[in-house]
Chains A and B, each alone.
Chain A
């Protein structure tokens, strides 16, 4: 649900959490933020998820650099193609 802000808009909006869907279905995005050894973590994560959720598709994405937010088109593509996203780092 969306509301029209009834205030003078001096206070920034605090984001609220999206609805928690329970059991994952469809596809899950694994977003590697490009930190060293991020792929090691993501590979292991993918392995475990496939064991636990055999019906769910795993899609892999990677940010160009960990030092900046994900580009708009990457964020949009992840949102369009998946119901869930796991973003992770390593080192």
Chain B
């Protein structure tokens, strides 16, 4: 017989006489997992009893019952002498990976698993008793094998029943959860979350240990690993704390790797999340998801992509914001001090419709492989505006409309701006694709069509906002200098372009920038680590 090498967990359980039995004891052991209401367990009990009577002096033969009341019944109805250990807490069944009862596990003196029988199989049992005889040097007991069927399937172990499995998983993972626990008591749990100031103004899902444990199944990362240090409090954000906030946001565990990647991205120093949250301008992390995970999570990249109604879009962005609030301490009116705020501050997250785009997707442009899943965060205005152009039939004409729309970002007289995000709709993408324009050509045309003579950008009595001469290092400009056309954006590549939105509608959308560049926020991409 081959030794499997798998080490079984050490445990101590009490028998019906309240004597403690500890495994491994230094002897071979036959661990027989049973439950009273399983007919195949009833069928097997006399064989377990026979094994105990024949070999019990040399090795530990134990029945391990999953139901305290049923254990007693099993012993009484079968007049058993085999020790019946109480695993009604199911922790040993769970730790040993028992999915079926009866499961018979033969273990070496050091606790390594040698053999496992699930359900009932007459031939396997005959082999098992022969093996026990060999190990113990004792005789095989006489069994009337003809009275046993060849095979019988077992029943489901209580430890894998849906609610129970979840509780046990939480308990097992709970050993690695270190966050403070809070008793809600007799209050309504949803009201409790509001009262403690943990929500963004909408109800949140209470992050019970079970739910947090379930969220953690979405990642292989250790719950205590610090993913980021979140401002303004510069608080360490562990995987566990982030999981609690993802639960509150309503995420499924499959979304959690995207949340983790987004948190890593916003915490990059160049993103300057403190500034994005604290600015009186209404900025927020705008989260774009690329790669295969978009489809696996059922993210919306089509009709209503920027709007509401999709769970992944809505909750991933919300989880990031709740983490900033609860872990980082960025609360509205406190450190978060936007003059107006914006609906997009609840959550702004959507996917690029890569398959509908004539260009390379955003993440490929930024150096990732197409088959990688990537999150990109931008520090932009917390809400999009739309540009209508239902008449342009050429890329040249349409991109001029984009330019005119983009020129209004921040202020029309403020040029040399930083990053913006242009979300091109499928119909507009088709117009551009017909002329086979690259993204570089789109950017060049936007820069060209939005450029204005310097004289039009100077603050004056008609409009006090604008760009003072000193911005350009000029005191007494020449007519030629005043006629020089200043582009809207410092660099063409600051115009980020993706494709998303419904098939119908000759509109595109803009997310205007906040302060961009080294003194403001620079967009950041991070690869999503998926659980295979």
Given A16-B187, A16-B192, A19-B185, A4:B209 Cβ within 8 A: yes
Query: B163 CB to closest chain A CB, in angstroms?
Result: 15
In-complex Cβ contact of A6 among B189, B236, B245 (8 A):
B245
What mask results when residues 179 to 212 of chain B are scored 1 for a CB within 8 Å of chain A, else 0?
A: 1111111110100100010100000001111001
Choose, from A7-15, A31-39, A83-91, the stretch at the interface: A7-15
Cβ of A6 and Cβ of B326 under 8 Å apart? yes
Given A8-B327, A8-B329, A16-B187, A3:B235 Cβ within 8 A: no
| A67 contacts the other chain (CB 8 A) | no
In-complex Cβ contact of B212 among A4, A13, A18 (8 A):
A4
Given A3-B207, A4-B209, A10:B233 Cβ within 8 A: yes
| B177 contacts the other chain (CB 8 A) | yes
| A20 contacts the other chain (CB 8 A) | yes
Those of B338-391 within 8 Å (CB) of chain A:
none
In the complex, A16→B189 CA distance in Å?
A: 11
| B244 contacts the other chain (CB 8 A) | yes
Cβ of B182 and Cβ of A17 under 8 Å apart? no
Closest to B245 in A: A6
Q: Which of A2, A7, A16, A18 has the most CB of B within 10 A?
A: A7
Cβ of B233 and Cβ of A8 under 8 Å apart? yes
What mask results when residues 54 to 89 of chain A are scored 1 for a CB within 8 Å of chain B, else 0?
A: 000000000000000000000000000000000000
Chain B residues in 8 Å Cβ range of A3: 181-182, 184, 189, 206-209, 244
In the complex, A19→B186 CA distance in Å?
A: 4
Cβ of A1 and Cβ of B180 under 8 Å apart? no
Cβ of B326 and Cβ of A7 under 8 Å apart? yes
Cβ of B183 and Cβ of A2 under 8 Å apart? yes
Given A10-B233, A16-B192, A4:B179 Cβ within 8 A: yes
Chain B residues in 8 Å Cβ range of A6: 179, 198, 207, 241, 244-245, 248, 322, 326-327
In-complex Cβ contact of A1 among B206, B244, B245, B326 (8 A):
B206
In the complex, A85→B123 CA distance in Å?
A: 61
Chain B residues in 8 Å Cβ range of A2: 181-184, 208-209
Q: Which of B182, B212, B240, B322 has the most CB of A within 10 A?
A: B182
| A51 contacts the other chain (CB 8 A) | no
Cβ of A17 and Cβ of B209 under 8 Å apart? no
Chain B residues in 8 Å Cβ range of A10: 233, 235, 329
In the complex, A8→B185 CA distance in Å?
A: 22
Chain B residues in 8 Å Cβ range of A14: 196
What mask results when residues 80 to 113 of chain B are scored 1 for a CB within 8 Å of chain A, else 0?
A: 0000000000000000000000000000000000
In the complex, A20→B185 CA distance in Å?
A: 10
Main secondary structure of the interface of A (DSSP, over half): loop
Interface size class of A (residues with CB under 8 A): 10 to 19
Given A1-B206, A2-B209, A6-B241, A18:B180 Cβ within 8 A: no
Cβ of A5 and Cβ of B179 under 8 Å apart? yes
In the complex, A46→B177 CA distance in Å?
A: 45
In-complex Cβ contact of A15 among B181, B183, B196 (8 A):
B183
Chain A residues in 8 Å Cβ range of B207: 3-4, 6
Q: Which of A1, A4, A5, A8 has the most CB of B within 10 A?
A: A4
Cβ of A4 and Cβ of B185 under 8 Å apart? no
Cβ of A16 and Cβ of B185 under 8 Å apart? yes
In the complex, A6→B180 CA distance in Å?
A: 9
Closest to B170 in A: A4
In the complex, A9→B185 CA distance in Å?
A: 19
In the complex, A20→B198 CA distance in Å?
A: 25
Cβ of A5 and Cβ of B244 under 8 Å apart? yes
In the complex, A2→B241 CA distance in Å?
A: 15
Closest to B213 in A: A4
In the complex, A3→B199 CA distance in Å?
A: 14
Cβ of B184 and Cβ of A7 under 8 Å apart? no
Query: B260 CB to closest chain A CB, in angstroms?
Result: 15
Closest to A19 in B: B186
Chain B residues in 8 Å Cβ range of A4: 177, 179-182, 207-209, 212, 240, 244
Cβ of B180 and Cβ of A5 under 8 Å apart? yes
Those of B209-256 within 8 Å (CB) of chain A:
209, 212, 233, 235-236, 240-241, 244-245, 248
Chain B residues in 8 Å Cβ range of A20: 186
Closest to B235 in A: A8
Chain B residues in 8 Å Cβ range of A9: 179-180
In the complex, A17→B444 CA distance in Å?
A: 65
Cβ of B186 and Cβ of A13 under 8 Å apart? no
Query: B514 CB to closest chain A CB, in angstroms?
Result: 26
In the complex, A3→B181 CA distance in Å?
A: 6
Chain B residues in 8 Å Cβ range of A19: 185-186
Chain B residues in 8 Å Cβ range of A16: 183-187, 192
Q: What are 21 A-B pairs with beta-carbon distances under 8 A?
A: A1-B189, A1-B206, A2-B209, A3-B189, A3-B207, A3-B209, A4-B177, A6-B207, A6-B322, A7-B326, A7-B327, A8-B233, A8-B235, A8-B241, A8-B327, A8-B328, A10-B329, A13-B182, A16-B187, A16-B192, A17-B185
Known: A1-B206, A3-B244, A4-B209. 12 other contacts (CB 8 A): A1-B183, A2-B182, A2-B183, A3-B207, A4-B207, A4-B208, A5-B181, A6-B179, A7-B241, A13-B180, A17-B185, A17-B187
B→A interface (CB under 8 Å) = 177, 179-187, 189, 192, 196, 198, 206-209, 212, 233, 235-236, 240-241, 244-245, 248, 322, 326-329
A→B interface (CB under 8 Å) = 1-10, 13-20
Closest 9 pairs between A and B when the two form their complex, measured CB to CB? A19-B186, A8-B235, A16-B185, A6-B244, A5-B180, A1-B184, A4-B244, A6-B326, A7-B326
